[in-house]
Amino acid sequence: MKKHVCIKYKFILKWILFYIFVFSSYCTKVSFDPSILHVEYLVDNSHEKTIESVSFAKNFIPVKNNLVAEGYTSAALWLKLTYDSSRFTEPSYLVLNETYHDYLDYYQRNGSSWNMIQVGDLRSYHNRIYQHRGFVFALKHNQGLQTEYLKISSEDSINFSFSILNEVEIRDNEMMMGLLYGFFIGALTAMILYNLFIFVSLRDISYLYYSLLQLTFLLTNLYMMGYLNKYIWPDQPYFNRYYIPLFYGAFVYFSNQFVRSFLDLKRYAPGLDRVFLIFALAGVLISLSFYFISYRTSVFLISSVISVNSPLALFAGIFAWLRGKKGAFYYNIAWSVFLASGFAAVVGSLGVIRNPLLVSHLPQIGGLFEALFFTVALSYRYRIMEQSKKELQHEIFAIQKGYTQNLAREVEEKTKVLNRSVEAMNNDLRLARNIQQNVLLKKEHHFTFLQIASLYNPHSEVSGDFYDIAEIKPGVVRFFIADVTGHGLQAALVTMTLKSEYDFFKSRELAPDQLLTELNKSFIEKVKGTNIFATAFILDMHYEKNLVEYSSAGHPHQMLLVSADHEKVNILTTRGLPLGVLEKSRYLSGRQSIKNGARAYLYTDGITEAHNEQLQEFGSERFLEEILKTKEKPVESQLKTIHEIISLFSGKSPVADDQTFIIAQFNP
């Protein structure tokens, strides 16, 4: 697997080495003829010197090789620039190759006075006469020997080199640097996206921490390259003051969280894990406190944390590697490169390495190597996880294969037992259906002044619907229809209970509303705590009085055709809660006169709520239309026709509820 990793990243490594070679060559190449420009410097510890006093000063010190490397200093630095402008046959410019010095004041002689150009990292970008990432000052040409001054004040390390270039050379220089920076930005962005993709796929937090770590590193370098100041906040220079502490603090946080997660320190070294957690919190505190402490103090704190934290991170990697942590080998290489480049950058900022342009880009060079090897380490981790996953899958498959035959036999035996149990249950249900229908239903109803047709279609073997038709006294036939909530055995048992309670009250000389009131009280006692209720409707048909009297307990509206020649169906309804909802419920009665041929249509909601395959209900309006269309037919024929229409409407859609439908025709 290690060989596979090396081959996979060999191509990327070659490109990084090529990048370093080109960049190093370019850093060495960017210079100029020393005989053109002579540079001297003067340290101003008090920051009180003026151009008038400096121009007469005699204690300037020559700058060697036109390279300034003072490192961190609280003093201002005055540079005396002497050049022979007659050597310039075209407009030429002094270019400072660094982008992040705070204040630069450039003085040029204009007769007896001085012209001052003020630029710097803490001044608006638009102050710059030449729109360049660095600092560019126009030199005079064809005017003989010139002496000009540059004052630099900065809380950053004062390290930079000079170049004298014409406009074409500046443009070519920017194009070359753009290509080199573009390679760096593109490579780092690709690695960030690659690790983010793996994080989304695996949900391993190490990949997220590493992506955020590289993102802060990339953003910091965009600032150091001058792109953020040029393109993002050219008129808000105060961002340049807070940017480094803020993002370096974030870098410290994400790097420590990455170390904890990648090396699994909670498992391999719990004590070290707590130490790195403290460093991570220190990074957060530095990021949050940048507004309250000075820039240089922030830089000092960050440098102190990183100088201790970074070697400790390498030590943790070596420790985890010795403990057998896979992937720690590439981690240690990556962290070693990072430490080496960081050490070189620190030494260079102190003025030891005398090539500021190269020094300022050492973190980028080291960052590319570090990103490459960390990505290799994370890829190696990914492959280990995939290999472990496959091994686990093989183990699971072997276990499953070992149990398959035994499981198949057990399933077969239990299926036989279950089938026998199901068959016994079905037999019990069929017996229960027969008993229920024998108890609930009377097959024939003979009354001298009535013709009755009925349909009873349970949803399952047993039903939650029932109806009762009885002559409670001479000339008065009482119809009772009810629908218990739910289906199946539970609803059937409650239905039997309701039937028993109704039989107790039905022959009493009670009006429909009074009967429902008493039935509700008794029903609640029997089903208390079951959360079951029932809708019901009572209709008394009086032969001698030619009227119907009715009452409803939350039941769907019933229908009445008051005479054979009547063209309108009356809706029968009264207000009242379903049985079993509230013990003190009260019910109302309604009355309606009828004539010869009047028909009452009593039904449960399974009739109107029958639905087709598109889940459209048959509905009350369609039901009413079919009643009017078929009212001339005998009651048996009308009921059969309407039921066939409902069945045709439902199609292949199964019956979803119990269905009960009664037609009673009055013939005095």
**pLDDT tens digits for range 161-184:** 778 888 888 888 888 888 878 877
User: Which whole number is the average pLDDT over 25-33?
Assistant: 49
- Do 576 and 638 reside in the same domain of the chain? yes
Token pair 């001058």 in the structure block, residue: 226
Instruction: Decide if pLDDT at 367 tops 70.
Output: no
Q: Give the pLDDT confidence score for residue 430 in this predicted structure.
A: 56
The tens digit of pLDDT for each residue in 96-107 reads: 877 778 899 999
- Do 155 and 232 reside in the same domain of the chain? no
Instruction: Decide if pLDDT at 86 tops 90.
Output: no
Q: Give the pLDDT confidence score for residue 6 in this predicted structure.
A: 43
Instruction: Decide if pLDDT at 83 tops 80.
Output: yes
Tokens representing 63? 């700058």
Residue where a domain terminates, one of 363, 384, 405:
384
- Distance of CA 530 to CAs 12, 496, 497, 591, Å? 73, 15, 13, 34
- Do 497 and 593 reside in the same domain of the chain? yes
Is the distance from CB of 291 to CB of 249 less than 8 angstroms?
no
User: Which whole number is the average pLDDT over 492-504?
Assistant: 85
Residues 6+ apart with CB under 8 A from 354: 64, 65, 67, 69
Q: Residue 247 belongs to what domain range?
A: 2-24+184-384
DSSP state of 152: E
d(CA 322, CA 452): 95
Q: Would 420 be classed as within a structural domain?
A: no
Looking at residue 538, which CATH number applies to its domain? Answer: 3.60.40.10
- Do 149 and 232 reside in the same domain of the chain? no
Is the distance from CB of 122 to CB of 238 less than 8 angstroms?
yes
d(CA 385, CA 391): 10
The tens digit of pLDDT for each residue in 593-650 reads: 999 999 999 999 989 989 888 889 999 999 999 999 999 999 999 999 999 999 999 8
Q: Give the pLDDT confidence score for residue 420 in this predicted structure.
A: 65
Is the distance from CB of 126 to CB of 235 less than 8 angstroms?
yes
- Do 159 and 224 reside in the same domain of the chain? no
The tens digit of pLDDT for each residue in 501-515 reads: 898 898 788 999 999
- Do 255 and 374 reside in the same domain of the chain? yes
CA-nearest of 546, 598, 555 to 575 is 555
d(CA 357, CA 29): 11
561 φ/ψ angles, rounded to the nearest 5 degrees = -100, 110
Provide the pairing of β-strand 103-110 with 113-119.
antiparallel
User: Which whole number is the average pLDDT over 250-259?
Assistant: 89
Other residues' Cβ atoms within 10 Å of the Cβ of residue 246: 20
List residues bridging with 471 in a β-sheet.
477
Looking at residue 167, which CATH number applies to its domain? Answer: 2.60.40.2380
Banded model confidence at residue 376, pLDDT cuts 50, 70, 90: low
- Do 264 and 325 reside in the same domain of the chain? yes
Q: Would 430 be classed as within a structural domain?
A: no
DSSP state of 651: T
User: Which whole number is the average pLDDT over 70-98?
Assistant: 86
Instruction: Decide if pLDDT at 290 tops 50.
Output: yes
Q: Would 490 be classed as within a structural domain?
A: yes
Tokens representing 197? 């993709």
Q: Give the pLDDT confidence score for residue 398 in this predicted structure.
A: 66
The tens digit of pLDDT for each residue in 201-217 reads: 878 888 898 889 889 88
User: Which whole number is the average pLDDT over 135-159?
Assistant: 88
Burial (CB count <10 Å: 0-12, 13-18, 19+), residue 82 = middle
Q: Give the pLDDT confidence score for residue 85 in this predicted structure.
A: 86
For residue 479, the surrounding DSSP H or E stretch is strand 476-484
Is the distance from CB of 478 to CB of 472 less than 8 angstroms?
yes
Token pair 């102050």 in the structure block, residue: 127
Q: Would 520 be classed as within a structural domain?
A: yes
- Do 220 and 342 reside in the same domain of the chain? yes
Is the distance from CB of 101 to CB of 133 less than 8 angstroms?
no
Instruction: Decide if pLDDT at 495 tops 90.
Output: no
- Do 659 and 515 reside in the same domain of the chain? yes
Domain count for the chain: 3
- Distance of CA 395 to CAs 170, 362, 389, 404, 575, Å? 65, 49, 10, 14, 68
Q: Give the pLDDT confidence score for residue 149 in this predicted structure.
A: 95
CA-nearest of 144, 127, 145 to 135 is 127
d(CA 26, CA 616): 79
Residue where a domain terminates, one of 384, 414, 430:
384
Banded model confidence at residue 355, pLDDT cuts 50, 70, 90: low
Other residues' Cβ atoms within 10 Å of the Cβ of residue 582: 12
Q: Give the pLDDT confidence score for residue 10 in this predicted structure.
A: 47
Instruction: Please name the amino acid found at residue 659.
Output: Q
Provide the pairing of β-strand 465-473 with 476-484.
antiparallel
- Do 458 and 339 reside in the same domain of the chain? no
Q: Give the pLDDT confidence score for residue 329 in this predicted structure.
A: 76
Q: Would 437 be classed as within a structural domain?
A: no
The tens digit of pLDDT for each residue in 448-491 reads: 889 999 998 887 666 778 899 998 888 899 999 999 887 667 77
Residue where a domain terminates, one of 346, 368, 384:
384
Instruction: Decide if pLDDT at 425 tops 80.
Output: no
d(CA 261, CA 378): 11
**Dihedral (C-alpha) 25, 165, 93, 77: value to the nearest 10 degrees?**
30
The structure's pTM equals 0.52
Q: Would 411 be classed as within a structural domain?
A: no
Q: Give the pLDDT confidence score for residue 147 in this predicted structure.
A: 92
Instruction: Decide if pLDDT at 151 tops 90.
Output: yes
Residues 6+ apart with CB under 8 A from 209: 254, 257, 258, 261, 262
d(CA 174, CA 168): 10
CA-nearest of 624, 626, 663, 666 to 642 is 626
Distance of CA 331 to the CA centre of its chain: 31
Q: Give the pLDDT confidence score for residue 22 in this predicted structure.
A: 46
- Do 163 and 262 reside in the same domain of the chain? no
Q: Would 110 be classed as within a structural domain?
A: yes
d(CA 635, CA 332): 94
Is the distance from CB of 27 to CB of 361 less than 8 angstroms?
yes
- Do 601 and 505 reside in the same domain of the chain? yes
d(CA 31, CA 65): 9
Is the distance from CB of 449 to CB of 664 less than 8 angstroms?
no
Q: Would 407 be classed as within a structural domain?
A: no
% of the chain exceeding 70 in pLDDT:
79
Residues 6+ apart with CB under 8 A from 350: 71, 72, 157
Better pLDDT: 552 or 574: 552
d(CA 131, CA 482): 90
